[in-house]
Amino acid sequence: MSANNAPQPVKLSLPLEYQQQLFQELRAEDELVVIAKGLGLMRLVTNLLHSYDAAGNNLIIVIGAEDRENAWIGEALAESAAVSMAPKARGLTVVNTDFTSVAAREKMYAKGGIYSITSRILVVDLLTSLLDPETITGVILLHADKVIATSLEAFILRVYRQKNKNGFLKAFSDNPDPFTIGFSPLSTMMRNLFLRKASLWPRFHVTVASSLEGKKKAEVIELEVPMTDAMGDIQTAIMECVEVSIHELKKGNTGLEMDDWNLDSALLKNFDIMVRRQLDPNWHRVSWKTKQIVSDLTVLRSLLHSVLALDCVSFLQHLDTIHAAHSPQPGTTRQTQSPWLFLDAAHTIFETAKRRVYSSNAKPDAKSTIDSLRPVLEEQPKWALLAEILEEIDRDLYFDPPMRDDSNGTILIMCSDEATTRQLRDYLQTMHVEPKTENDAKQNREEHKSSANFMMRRRLRNYLNWKKEFAQVSNALLAENQKALEGAVDPRIAQGAYKGRAPANKRRRVRGGGASGTAPGRAANGSVAQYFEKPNEVADLMDEVRITEEEAANQKADIVADPLEDMDDWFELYEMQDLVVIHAYDGDQDEHVLEEIKPRYIIMYEPDASFIRRIEVYRSSHNDRNVRVYFMFYNNSVEEQRYLATVRREKDSFTKLIKERASMSVVMTVDAHGVEDPQEAFLRTVNTRIAGGGRLAATAQPPRVVVDVREFRSSLPSLLHGRNMVIVPCMLTVGDYILSPTICVERKSISDLISSFKDGRLFSQTETMFQHYKNPMLLIEFDQNKSFTLEPFADLSGNLKSVNPNEGPSDLQSKIVLLTLAFPKLRVIWSSSPYQTAEIFEGLKTQQDEPDPVAAVRAGLDKDMKAEDQAFNLEPHEMLGVVPGVTPKNLKSLTLKTENIRDVANLTESELAALIGKEAARQVYGFFNRNLIDVDD
């Protein structure tokens, strides 16, 4: 298959029909490709890039690639170039913050090639014409689902499309969900991307289905694993807690769109983010209880995963830490416990989790006093099944050796995370080690029955040691708090009336009447109490799981320095068919794993929809690689529900997209292919406001704004550009935005404003603005999706009443007042969102002359020197700027007279005084020579 403009044939690695069809489509026209996860998006991108790379005379920009995608593309292009023997191919060059030299970048762009550039560098290079948009052959955008109207990527595409009419633009995404949220989301997204055609490739696409469901299907064995009764009980109890929490949220926050707040959507990954996003605008107004429930939902949802993934001992340890984190400190009177800890279901979770690890032997004559604890150590049902599968594979290989083919005999086990890989590795290494105990003789055990007994006993020993330390820490905290309470101001607390219990008349009533205490296992206020085993119980348990001879023999020796002299005797490469590889799911990288390991057997320890597709693509792409897949999941579990919900959600998303595309009108990409009509441009520059001494003016050039390069983190430059202003990026020393020769604006988001007040940076910035500009302004910009009020930031400024009751509710307002008292001529602009800021800037620029970028850069630099000669290294410069005593004025003399920060730190006080004056020298010297240990210094 030859590429359109390549002089010689290019070898592509796209064996499947749908891949070839999509490639041909992409070569022919610009489009947005939305493809289902697992269908080989990166392979398609690398082949497309190779077809352009082999031609050799292209300049292609890749936007939005992550580090590992860059590594993948670079490797694939080098490999393809070698296979195709393309002499002109140059591979991928990654341009990130390491490439700081402007001259080096200019040379690179002139040569051409394929460049993956970070968005912030690219937007500045395009605006400064370091990279001329007209010389770009085309742009390839990854993760198109993340592009919104205010993002840097949308800004880059706008600049590119305004100046380059012929270059291609292809966008890719493997996540259909964001394209289905909101009003006509697909056409909005297409407008942001300046594209007119969308190409959708779900798994149920006819071509994809026929490509993957041919003769070369993988053999799949589905295994439903029943959960143990205890696991089922815990899962049901957690679900009940989640349901009650969601109900409480709905009850406390009426007036929000809550159709999606139900148990089904609570199983999805981003449910808590969705809830938080809806509550965000009024976050400062919601009750403490609501905030607590939102954080509890995250914890409860992690527990749903943990009960299936962790072994019983690790799960109990996890529960202990959660309980400790969600309970008030021992001895305090604050009632700030999580509401779910008061439910009966919570009691069930904690009790059942304990019962899975150990149970009690009660003496028949005593009244339920626990005599001793014996270990139960319930194993995860999947472990035994995994051992069975491995035995079955061994039998198959022995009695029915497979035909020789291209796949290795490797067994690949895939699971969800690194913790599970470690757990499975431990289990497989120790499942045949049997610790002999006294009752072994009585039981006629089957020989070679695999068991996790050894691993679980070791984990229980570690847990008991951990719990002992945990109890000591807890007791120490309790003692400290009791001391603090005894010396407290409140006389009621000092008298001890509240120690651990409410007064008699304030106790909670319990159904059933009668003077009732608290239920066993519950604290005085009705929440689940933390259980600490008694020393004699721990001693019995430890005795039960003490290290036996077999276990001692299997303990790993201490690590010592190895001279590595006899490596050949001890180390060798295993044969591939002897390997069992345990790997965690890792997105696109899993394709590499399959290609490199070439497994014959794949055990999916946990379900993952995209990995199933990767296996289908892998099997269909290779005629001679047979694969057998064991697909394990817990029956009637959250794991199964989550898997089915993910598949259903993706299918629904694609269905919505297909419907919207069918009824969508042609997306008019705003001035995508052509510059503004000259007449329109002239009319826009005519200022008709001639009242009040104004003048009728028609300036041929559009309005210009000088912007500091560090400001491209925000969306404001993009919005200003959208209002037909020319953006000139410069390295400014004074201000962030220069609107005219007299107007200079320092932009602060709220969090930035608080930190600037804390370190005193804002005061010196305002001072320098007044030195160089007639009308300095401070712009305080709020987030578009949050409330336009300073209330929610009271706690950020560090003086919330609950933290320090002696202080006022917020000192942010008072600091702003102090600033305006110090600089009466400083104008403060309040803006509710970047959109409003752009509008304000447009208003401020009317009747004003255009700013001079060279003068803007020179402001704050030394008068005698040229701006380009003063290329200070930015990070140390900024670092030195925040040292007490260093001001923008004396910073220059320090930077010019010393080599680096170390030199400044090593100067004596008298040497510093000669450079920056006595008072400043004393502060700087004191800062660098302060004793870190003696805090009072």
The segment with the largest mean pLDDT, out of 374-383, 495-504, 524-533, 859-868, is 374-383
CA pair distance 85, 83, nearest whole angstrom: 5
**String of DSSP letters for 130-170:** SS-GGG--EEEES-GGG--TTSHHHHHHHHHHHH-SS-EEE
Q: So what's the pLDDT on residue 497?
A: 38
Classified as helix, coil or strand, 240 is: helix
Q: Which residue has the higher pLDDT, 266 or 497?
A: 266
| DSSP state letter for 675 | P
Q: So what's the pLDDT on residue 792?
A: 58
Paired residues of 141 in beta bridges: 63, 171
Give tens-digit pLDDT for 226-259: 999 999 999 999 988 888 888 888 887 776 767 7
The segment with the largest mean pLDDT, out of 255-264, 418-427, 857-866, is 418-427
When pLDDT is averaged across residues 597-607 and rounded to a whole number, the result is 90
Q: CA nearest 634: which of 198, 308, 173, 294? A: 308
Judged by phi (left if over 0) then psi (alpha if -120 to 50, else beta), residue 729 lies in beta
Q: How many Cα atoms are found within 13 Å in the side-chain-facing hemisphere of 244?
A: 17
Q: Are 687 and 694 in contact (CB under 8 A)?
A: yes
CA pair distance 913, 909, nearest whole angstrom: 6
Q: So what's the pLDDT on residue 160?
A: 92
Q: So what's the pLDDT on residue 800?
A: 42
Q: How many Cα atoms are found within 13 Å in the side-chain-facing hemisphere of 424?
A: 27
Classified as helix, coil or strand, 558 is: coil
Q: So what's the pLDDT on residue 129?
A: 87
Q: Which residue has the higher pLDDT, 516 or 743?
A: 743
When pLDDT is averaged across residues 250-279 and rounded to a whole number, the result is 74
Q: Are 83 and 57 in contact (CB under 8 A)?
A: no
| DSSP state letter for 179 | G
- The beta-strand segments (E) located in 322-392 are 358-362, 370-375
Q: Which residue has the higher pLDDT, 848 or 869?
A: 848
* pLDDT band per the 50, 70, 90 thresholds, residue 499: very low
Instruction: Compute the chain's Rg from CA coordinates.
Output: 34
Q: So what's the pLDDT on residue 526?
A: 61
CA dihedral of 39, 41, 47, 53, whole degrees rounded to 10: 180
Longest Cα pair distance anywhere in the chain, in angstroms?
108
Say whether pLDDT at 536 is over 90. Answer: no
* pLDDT band per the 50, 70, 90 thresholds, residue 746: very high
The helix or strand, by DSSP H or E, that contains position 737, with its residue range, turns out to be strand 737-738
CA pair distance 412, 401, nearest whole angstrom: 18
When pLDDT is averaged across residues 484-503 and rounded to a whole number, the result is 45
Give tens-digit pLDDT for 705-737: 999 988 888 889 999 988 888 899 988 888 899
Q: Which residue has the higher pLDDT, 671 or 897?
A: 897
Q: How many Cα atoms are found within 13 Å in the side-chain-facing hemisphere of 657?
A: 27
Residue 493 has φ and ψ, to the nearest 5°, of -70, -40
When pLDDT is averaged across residues 495-501 and rounded to a whole number, the result is 38
| pTM: predicted TM-score of the whole model, two decimal places | 0.78
Pairing between strand 697-698 and 686-687?
Answer: antiparallel
Mean model confidence pLDDT for the chain: 78
Of 3-7, 497-501, 540-544, 846-850, the one with minimum mean pLDDT is 497-501
CA pair distance 668, 313, nearest whole angstrom: 60
When pLDDT is averaged across residues 159-163 and rounded to a whole number, the result is 89
Say whether pLDDT at 5 is over 50. Answer: no
Give tens-digit pLDDT for 76-105: 888 888 888 877 788 888 888 766 678 888
Q: Which two tokens stand for residue 30?
A: 């610009």
For residue 478, the tally of other CB atoms under 10 A from its CB is 15
Say whether pLDDT at 903 is over 50. Answer: yes
* pLDDT band per the 50, 70, 90 thresholds, residue 139: very high
When pLDDT is averaged across residues 281-304 and rounded to a whole number, the result is 83
CA pair distance 863, 721, nearest whole angstrom: 32
Give tens-digit pLDDT for 13-44: 888 899 999 999 999 999 999 999 989 899 99
The segment with the largest mean pLDDT, out of 51-55, 96-100, 114-118, is 114-118
CA dihedral of 497, 501, 506, 508, whole degrees rounded to 10: 180
CA pair distance 845, 890, nearest whole angstrom: 33
Of 680-689, 713-722, 733-742, 744-753, the one with minimum mean pLDDT is 680-689
CA pair distance 421, 424, nearest whole angstrom: 5
* pLDDT band per the 50, 70, 90 thresholds, residue 492: very low
Q: So what's the pLDDT on residue 409?
A: 78
Question: At a CB cut-off of 8 Å and minimum separation 6, what does 628 contact?
Answer: 218, 219, 220, 221, 600, 601, 602
Q: Are 856 and 727 in contact (CB under 8 A)?
A: no
CA pair distance 486, 914, nearest whole angstrom: 55
Q: So what's the pLDDT on residue 572?
A: 66
First to last CA, the chain: 75
Q: Which residue has the higher pLDDT, 278 or 21?
A: 21
